[in-house]
Structure 1
Amino acid sequence: MAGRARGGRPMTTAAVRHLYVHLPFCAHRCGYCDFVTAVGREDQHGAYVDSLLAELGLEQEILAPRLETVFLGGGTPTFTAPDALARVLETLPAAEEVTVEANPETVTPALARLLRDGGVNRVSLGAQSFQPHLLDVLERRATPDVVREAVYLLRDAGFDNISLDLIYGIPGQGPADLEGDLAEAVALAPEHLSCYELEAKPGTRFTRAHGAELARQVDAMEDYFERVVDTLVSAGYRWYETANFCLEPERREGRDLRARHNLAYWHARDYLGLGVGAVSTVAGMRRRNKPSLAAYMRATRSGRRPPRELEALDDETRARERLLLGLRLDEPLDLGRVRGALDEQACARLVARDLVELSTGEDGPAMTLTRRGRFLGGAVTAEIVAWPAQLPAELPAQLSSELPAELPAQLSSELPAELPAELPSELVAYGDEASSMPAGPSSPHGLCRWLDTRCHEAGPERERGTAGDAATIEDMQLSPRKREILRRVVEEYVATGQPVGSKGLVERGELRVSSSTVRGELAELESLGLLTHPHTSAGRLPTESGYRLYAEELVESLDGRPASLGVDLGSMRDEIETALRATTDMLSRATRLLAIVSAPSLETATIRHVEVLALQPTSVMVVVITSTGGVTKRVFRLDEPVDPGLVAWAAEYLTDRIVGVRLGASAVRRRLEAAELSARERSFLALIGSALLEVGAEEGPEVFVGGATGLFEEARREELEATLRLLELLERRAAVLELVSEALEPRRPVVHVGPELGGGQHHDVSLVGATYGIRTKALGAVGLIGPVRMDYEKAIRSVRAAAFELSRFVEDVYDEV
């Protein structure tokens, strides 16, 4: 049983109270997995355990006599041969929480007893989904029934702390699938749930097979994330970490059911990792066993520690990790422990934007993310960290092959000069079912991958800057005079299309300084990457970075209520399409730019009205009107005449029970299958129910575009190529929608310049965008696209006014306010 220390070896006093044990063996490697695994190899299980226990003996002295947590991860630990697994459990030190990861298909009555007898008191089951077609996509072998049976078997064996893992963003998944998964999971009443966003690495067979659908799923991730949180919190779960939920204490006799092992990572505590590819952080040193099974077993059989990479962690690095990991939690983070890692100016900005909340804790000032800040997650934490000045602004894509000529002395001499291309970026599983960890770093080892993903989602240039770039004007410490000169250069160049010189700026007055002073300021702005000049004797013109910072200051200086759009949407009543077309036309005429407005997705709509009509004795028509004004009609043919009284009852029942419910919601299905219905009533609703369940299932958001002619007429000769590319883009509505959807902050304009739009083809194009919607949800986006040399002030004010008017309009139209 877990608790017997190894072989009488004396143990010195040590602080390491958290132990991770890696069992890499799996029956099958799923296509999306990028962890250290070994398929099959049943003949090596015993020998690997010998090596594992040998490494434990070598490291025993740094472990405390009594551990807080032990976590067995993989791989699939429960695929390990039973006798070998039992030997591991018998030899491990005692711990208050002992967790084992398990795939449902490996759980049998015998395995459940083995785990229970071996001291395991918590099991993490990798369910991933309850939809058979999604399990097939993920290459999971357990059916939904097998997952349920695994939970029942563990309960029968006495386990009262079970965690389930779910993945969302799976190719082919829709909102109804996710709601179904959450309902199934909640019905099993696990004490803990981990819900992760699927990430498939580029170049893997999974990405090659599902690339287009994975790209489509990215657009739905924000909505999926909100659905997960809202559903689980309403079901009595505490959203205690970005991707993790546990039952509130009152639901389980006052017990704290958070994953204590994972909390050790999020609190940046020391931990020891054993096994191939395992990572440890001990006394300011991070070490990672190399991911070679053969090398690991050779070394440990010879009584040597396995080959590993070493990295010394200075105080600043530890503070940054405490900040980045601690902000994933719902508890206040003591600022005294992270003070050196905190960008205080960024913190003040985020407090003003209601993304960060400051408080006073027992040990002094503390900080947490607000609910809105938690949904934005890594984008907020990446901004709030004070990155060291020597950190490159943008990490090279091929980092592994661009190591410095002289490696730091702390690194092991065994570190290869070039990591193999196929080596996964995160090689060891930490946290509940860590193979599905892309939503965030359940351990420090996932930190780099997670930050890279999140920073790119938020725009790397906006979060950390690119070479010669910066995130905000405040970060660059521009003086008021530099700021004013930059503004004047941008505005004059936008108006004239000609480079701007120091003499002209002085002659136009208001600067009240000499031409030489202005030249010096222009040169400094150029050295900062904000201005450039076509040749030595010419004046300056803005770079993409200059436009961006100018536009950001315009956004920050916006006053209270937007100006009028100049179109009366109120007269259009419920005609959303008419209102969106009118908005598009007005925007394009006012700015002479390409105006784009996306309509609300039908997934955001609710059912406003239902009619059930008997057309003939054997035919019934169902009419569904949505909150967006959409009308769907379905006619159903019956084999026998239908009772008019049943038709009238159905119309009344659906009006009473379905109106106001969101399209595709599981609530619609529950009402169609309510237990209080008679068999005859339920049968009739099952016949006509598809009219309600399938409204808009095949449709995507409509996109309205206007102003192509005006954009072409206004383009200067050097801008014609970019304009032609934009006109070609109009032929691909999905690509247009993707550009507009970059507007991430509801009702507050954002500006994306050049490369920020993604892909090299948009390097000379800018987008000004904002979302519109109801109080609780963004429903669509408004955008203006044009050349980088555009009138940003007019574009920002126009987009802001349009988003404001459309938000007022849809709040009147939608029932869900």
Structure 2
Amino acid sequence: MHLNDRSQILLKTLVERYIADGQPVGSKALSQFSGLDVSSATIRNVMADLEHLGLVASPHTSAGRIPTAQGYRLFVDTLLAVQPLEQIQISPKHALPNDNPQHSILAASQLLSQLTQFAGVVMTPKRSELHLKQIEFLPLGDKRVLLILVTNDGDVQNRIVQTERHFAPNELINAANFLNEHCAGKTLSNLLGWLQSDVIRVKQDLTSLMNAAVAVSSNLNSEHMVIAGEHQLLGLHDFSGDMQRMRQLFELFEQKTALLQLLEQGHHAEGVQIYIGGESGLAPLDECSVITAPYQVNGEVVGTLGVIGPTRMAYERVIPIVDITAKLLSSALSN
């Protein structure tokens, strides 16, 4: 869409003022902040043209105008000046921990939320060759057992398993010893094949425990995500009057499947991706923007991270934050 210079300046000014103040922008403010020497009548005519093009809208409660999703898109694609790195509040103190991949991923999601005051999300890498290091069972009573599973990368997962019968503590110890003897160091595919073989038949009483261990391993192997700072969205003026939308948004965070599919698109793209409003294809995000970037391990893209916030966000600041955090996480995981 081609706009003349005057229309571009006025649209850029309107978007910037609305992002800063959250209030519809009128002709007086546009004249004051645009730096153009034009009359209010001329500004109103330009605003009418922009509204006709679908770039701005007039709330019925105000004579001012606000940007539409299409207006934000044009602003981001052609008018936005991204802040220089030195102006972004990321310093060496924000270096992510590199002692454990799960720690790095969690820290990245928290950093995104902390710096933007929005929700930070990280799609974790697929772990197709997950190796098991240790399995333990602890009795909880009422036919319940706590399963503790440790992987070779140091990740620890706990699950409560409902068993068909009561297991004495010594039985659980024997079961753990048996599994650790036969399964430690095996990949998930090796473990699944082993459980289907004749070896398992000598330990029929332990079948339910072993199947539970495999189920947890399968969950570890599947793609999932870490989300931090969802509560930040509750305090935003943009969402405060629409609790139905907030419920839909938090259901999206809870179920994760649809959100994972959106992040998966960024996994196969180069650089930062920006989804404004309905561009995400997810109804709960119609009033949101999602900014994502892929991250790498030793030069190979393994996942995507990003920020979810209202369409009225400071794109010039959030975009480089997402980009830099992806580089920080890549460095932590590669080290």
The residue that corresponds to 1:733 in the other structure is 256
- What secondary structure, in the 3-state scheme, does the structure 2 residue paired with 1:574 have? coil
- Spell out the pairing of 1:420-569 with structure 2 (5 A cutoff): 476-508=1-33, 510-535=35-60, 538-553=63-78, 563=88, 565-566=90-91, 568=93
In structure 1, what is the Cα distance between the partners aligned to 2:130 and 2:81?
35
Question: CA separation of 1:592/1:560 partners in 2, compared to 1, >3 Å: closer, same or farther?
Answer: closer
Q: What is the CA-CA distance between 1:558 and the residue it aligns to?
A: 7.0
In structure 2, what is the Cα distance between the partners aligned to 1:583 and 1:529?
37
Q: What is the CA-CA distance between 1:545 and the residue it aligns to?
A: 0.7
Question: CA separation of 1:553/1:575 partners in 2, compared to 1, >3 Å: closer, same or farther?
Answer: farther
In structure 2, what is the Cα distance between the partners aligned to 1:500 and 1:808?
43
The residue that corresponds to 2:283 in the other structure is 760
Q: Note the alpha carbon deviations across 1:528-577, whole angstroms, 9 max, x for none.
A: 21111124971111111111222234778576899463474656233121
- What secondary structure, in the 3-state scheme, does the structure 2 residue paired with 1:741 have? helix
Which of 613, 622, 635 aligns to 2:180? It is 635
Question: CA separation of 1:751/1:507 partners in 2, compared to 1, >3 Å: closer, same or farther?
Answer: same
Which of 599, 603, 618 aligns to 2:124? It is 599
The residue that corresponds to 2:152 in the other structure is 625
Q: Note the alpha carbon deviations across 1:444-466, whole angstroms, 9 max, x for none.
A: xxxxxxxxxxxxxxxxxxxxxxx
The residue that corresponds to 2:237 in the other structure is 715
Letter in 1 for 2:258: A
Contact 1:602/1:696 (<8 A) preserved: no
In structure 2, what is the Cα distance between the partners aligned to 1:760 and 1:700?
25
Letter in 2 for 1:552: D
In structure 1, what is the Cα distance between the partners aligned to 2:330 and 2:282?
31
Question: CA separation of 1:761/1:536 partners in 2, compared to 1, >3 Å: closer, same or farther?
Answer: closer
Letter in 2 for 1:777: E
The residue that corresponds to 1:803 in the other structure is 326
Contact 1:747/1:800 (<8 A) preserved: no
Contact 2:266/2:293 (<8 A) preserved: yes
- What secondary structure, in the 3-state scheme, does the structure 2 residue paired with 1:731 have? helix
- What secondary structure, in the 3-state scheme, does the structure 2 residue paired with 1:572 have? coil
1:575 aligns with 2:100: yes
Q: What is the CA-CA distance between 1:730 and the residue it aligns to?
A: 2.2
In structure 2, what is the Cα distance between the partners aligned to 1:730 and 1:738?
12
Contact 1:598/1:781 (<8 A) preserved: yes
| Structure 1: runs of 5+ lacking an equivalent | 1-475, 612-622, 639-650, 670-693, 813-817
1:700 aligns with 2:222: yes
Contact 1:722/1:765 (<8 A) preserved: no
Question: CA separation of 1:558/1:774 partners in 2, compared to 1, >3 Å: closer, same or farther?
Answer: farther
In structure 1, what is the Cα distance between the partners aligned to 2:259 and 2:282?
14
- Spell out the pairing of 1:97-112 with structure 2 (5 A cutoff): none
In structure 2, what is the Cα distance between the partners aligned to 1:762 and 1:503?
32
Q: Note the alpha carbon deviations across 1:108-137, whole angstroms, 9 max, x for none.
A: xxxxxxxxxxxxxxxxxxxxxxxxxxxxxx
In structure 1, what is the Cα distance between the partners aligned to 2:78 and 2:268?
16
Question: CA separation of 1:569/1:601 partners in 2, compared to 1, >3 Å: closer, same or farther?
Answer: farther
More helix by share: 2
- What secondary structure, in the 3-state scheme, does the structure 1 residue paired with 2:180 have? strand
- Spell out the pairing of 1:30-45 with structure 2 (5 A cutoff): none
Contact 1:494/1:791 (<8 A) preserved: yes
Contact 1:745/1:770 (<8 A) preserved: no
Contact 2:121/2:228 (<8 A) preserved: yes
Q: What TM-score, normalized to structure 1?
A: 0.30
Question: CA separation of 1:526/1:495 partners in 2, compared to 1, >3 Å: closer, same or farther?
Answer: same
| Structure 2: runs of 5+ lacking an equivalent | 135-149, 158-175, 194-214
Across the two proteins, how many residue pairs are aligned to each other?
Answer: 275
In structure 1, what is the Cα distance between the partners aligned to 2:130 and 2:5?
50
Q: What is the CA-CA distance between 1:502 and the residue it aligns to?
A: 1.8
Q: What is the CA-CA distance between 1:794 and the residue it aligns to?
A: 2.6
Q: How many percent identity over aligned positions?
A: 30
The residue that corresponds to 1:224 in the other structure is none
Which of 769, 779, 782 aligns to 2:292? It is 769
RMSD: 3.8
Question: CA separation of 1:606/1:569 partners in 2, compared to 1, >3 Å: closer, same or farther?
Answer: farther
Q: Note the alpha carbon deviations across 1:685-741, whole angstroms, 9 max, x for none.
A: xxxxxxxxx995443233211212221012344454433321232221323323433
Question: CA separation of 1:631/1:720 partners in 2, compared to 1, >3 Å: closer, same or farther?
Answer: closer
Q: What TM-score, normalized to structure 2?
A: 0.68
Question: CA separation of 1:635/1:789 partners in 2, compared to 1, >3 Å: closer, same or farther?
Answer: same
In structure 2, what is the Cα distance between the partners aligned to 1:776 and 1:547?
33
In structure 2, what is the Cα distance between the partners aligned to 1:537 and 1:774?
50
In structure 1, what is the Cα distance between the partners aligned to 2:104 and 2:92?
9
- Spell out the pairing of 1:167-246 with structure 2 (5 A cutoff): none
- The structure with more radius of gyration: 1
The residue that corresponds to 1:418 in the other structure is none
Letter in 2 for 1:479: N
In structure 1, what is the Cα distance between the partners aligned to 2:67 and 2:303?
31
